[in-house]
Chain A
Amino acid sequence: MALLECQEVTKNFGGLMAVTNVSLQLEKGEIVGLIGANGAGKTTLFNLISGFYPPTNGSIRFEGDEIAGLKTHDICRKGLVRTFQLVRPFHNMTVWDNVMVGALFGVQKCKNVSRAKEEAMKVLEFTGLHEKKEIPAKELTIADRKRLEVARSLATKPKLLLLDEVLAGLTSTETTEAMKLVRRIRDEMGLTIFMVEHVMKAVMGLSDRLIVLHNGEKIAEGNAKEVSKNPTVIEAYLGEKLHM
């Protein structure tokens, strides 16, 4: 059984088709990249999967259960959590408290604050943020904020992590670091990762598989090599060079 299965998912905003008949499957332990030009419907698809709005049509199954139409917090408690493209840490809370909120709620739901603090500490160490634990989130650099956003999501103990452009806007060293972290999340924590990414080199290097969206439709799927040779993809990207 696939961990996540979308069948003919469609979203239409007042006549505008943002996502059309997209079907896809994620197997447990995979890292799958979702690519496509701006406005291709990647973030919309993420919003549909994470329950920010219900799909107009189609089904979304997580571990076999239908989740289309559930509220975001219910989906999170089932073990599917997302990060935001423009990171949204809780600015006035410390790094530690941010991550603790993830541990308090989410799947594992620590019943009391001190347990959650311990759990959060583990995640902070894993993500390398433990030295900055007392700093308010608003004082972090962009790279650290992105890291914090990932850490906060990890603290909910998810099975599937949706990463929305965690690499965008990072320097090349930071990108390497972040890529390392993503890989470790899969390898050491055993999570499945579905990521939207614009930095082609990174996403090609990280992903086991790529899914390409264009104008809201899925036009290709496969490993990096297959996708980059796919004539439909090349045509769709014409004029917008694919950096290999």
Chain B
Amino acid sequence: MTTSKLGKYLSGLGLLGLVIFLCVIPFYSTDYIVSVLLDILTWIGLTQSWIILSGFTGYISLGHSAFFGIGAYVMAILWLKLPYPLIILISAMSSMTLAFAIGFPVLRVRGPYFVILTLGLSEFAKYIFINYEVNVKGTVGRILLGVPNIRTLYFSLLIIAIVTILCAYLIKRSRFGYGLFSIKEDEDAAESLGIDTSIYKWLALGISAFFPGAIGATMALRRTYIDPYSVFDPIVSFQIIVMAFFGGIGKLHGPVLGACILTLISEFFWARYPHYYLIILGVILVFIVKIMPSGILGIFDLFGKAGKVVKFVRRK
């Protein structure tokens, strides 16, 4: 008991240290490092919000790019009209509202049908925006002028990422969280134990959509130019999934780790060889799903298990 408590204190202390480090580092490093960290925070936030729906309830979404895109567009439309943190909040609320609006019928669809439906929905949203741009506005995309500097954006994303992780963590340990895990395990059994599964899934979807909205809004400012093809890109959803699975969706720190490692890899490839990067991600996903269903954290588990076996054998 005491060792595990000590461990908790230590890891809490470690986390605090990490947060302080992340708060301080932008003042002592180059723009390039800040931009890499900013990317990492973006993907941490996205995978963590995806976990709230797909990791907890088992409803695998391939449509989170749509929430990202909506957030980006709300930002583009409202930019310079309202204070910037307020627009981020409105963007997040817009994504969430949309999720709530479509949630009930969409979440009635189960299993593989749900997965392909979410992909279809995000493409649908993309084409709606493309049409809106072309036919209503007569433009292709939007340019955002006078955006905040990279350090301001960094801190926005730092806050968003921390809130997302915190939110996922609190849900995971709460009554609500256990309701969601039960849905993942067996929806009918969950219902028969008194869990209002339709409301629970619906809430999870809404919360899960909130954060990509905020992140999309912030990234619109980072990119300064957006169009429907780039912000509703299914590749966003794809990367979220690969990162989450790569890290292991069973635990919360898995996806964080996955986001960190793969973003660093992408830094290496993205600028010059984006297609190699996506091919690598594809291969990683195949590899993970086929061989290591619990992600890279699974490797540590394996080491742990091996260690136990060794100890056990030695004692004999």
Q: Give A contacts to B, CB under 8 Å.
A: 50, 52, 71-74, 76-77, 81-82, 84, 88-93, 97, 100-102, 104-107, 109-113, 116, 152-153, 156
Chain A, Cβ-Cβ closest to B197: A73
Known: A52-B188, A88-B188, A90-B181. A106 touches B175 (CB 8 A): no
Known: A50-B192, A72-B192, A82-B192. 12 other contacts (CB 8 A): A72-B191, A76-B192, A81-B193, A88-B188, A89-B189, A90-B182, A90-B186, A101-B179, A101-B182, A102-B194, A113-B178, A152-B193
The answer to whether the Cβ of B174 comes within 8 Å of any Cβ in the partner chain is yes
Q: How far is the CA of A53 from the CA of B191 in the complex (A)?
A: 12
Contact B185 A105 (CB under 8 A): no
List of A residues within 8 angstroms of B186 by Cβ: 88-90
Contact A81 B185 (CB under 8 A): no
17 contacts between A and B (CB under 8 A): A72-B191, A72-B192, A73-B193, A73-B196, A76-B194, A82-B192, A84-B188, A88-B188, A88-B189, A101-B195, A104-B175, A104-B179, A105-B175, A107-B194, A111-B175, A152-B193, A156-B193
Proximity string of chain B (249-267) to chain A, C-beta cutoff 8 Å, 1 when within and 0 when not: 0000000000000000000
Contact A73 B195 (CB under 8 A): yes
Contact B193 A113 (CB under 8 A): no
CB distance from A98 to the nearest CB of B (A): 9
CB distance from A218 to the nearest CB of B (A): 24
- Name the one of B175, B189, B195, B196 contacting A112, with C-beta atoms under 8 angstroms: B175
List of B residues within 8 angstroms of A104 by Cβ: 175, 178-179
Known: A73-B197, A92-B185, A113-B173. A101 touches B178 (CB 8 A): yes
Contact A81 B192 (CB under 8 A): yes
Q: How far is the CA of A93 from the CA of B188 in the complex (A)?
A: 16
Proximity string of chain B (160-177) to chain A, C-beta cutoff 8 Å, 1 when within and 0 when not: 000000000000011100
List of A residues within 8 angstroms of B174 by Cβ: 113
- Name the one of A97, A107, A153 contacting B178, with C-beta atoms under 8 angstroms: A97
Chain B, Cβ-Cβ closest to A100: B178
CB distance from A79 to the nearest CB of B (A): 10
Contact A106 B185 (CB under 8 A): no
Q: How far is the CA of A107 from the CA of B193 in the complex (A)?
A: 9
CB distance from B252 to the nearest CB of A (A): 16
CB distance from B183 to the nearest CB of A (A): 10
Contact A113 B181 (CB under 8 A): no
- Name the one of B178, B190, B194, B197 contacting A77, with C-beta atoms under 8 angstroms: B194
- Interface-centre pick from B173, B181, B192, B196 (highest chain A CB count, 10 A): B192
Q: How far is the CA of A93 from the CA of B185 in the complex (A)?
A: 8
* Residues 182-216 of B at the A interface (beta carbon under 8 Å): 182, 185-186, 188-197
Chain A, Cβ-Cβ closest to B199: A73
Q: How far is the CA of A82 from the CA of B174 in the complex (A)?
A: 25
Query: Which 10 pairs from chain A and chain B are nearest by CB?
Result: A90-B185, A76-B194, A105-B194, A106-B194, A88-B189, A72-B191, A88-B186, A73-B196, A77-B194, A105-B195
Q: How far is the CA of A48 from the CA of B190 in the complex (A)?
A: 17
Chain B, Cβ-Cβ closest to A50: B192
List of A residues within 8 angstroms of B173 by Cβ: 113
List of A residues within 8 angstroms of B197 by Cβ: 73
Q: How far is the CA of A82 from the CA of B193 in the complex (A)?
A: 8
Q: How far is the CA of A124 from the CA of B173 in the complex (A)?
A: 21
Q: How far is the CA of A77 from the CA of B194 in the complex (A)?
A: 6
Contact A102 B185 (CB under 8 A): no
List of A residues within 8 angstroms of B181 by Cβ: 90, 93
Q: How far is the CA of A153 from the CA of B190 in the complex (A)?
A: 11
- Interface-centre pick from B173, B185, B193 (highest chain A CB count, 10 A): B193
CB distance from A207 to the nearest CB of B (A): 23
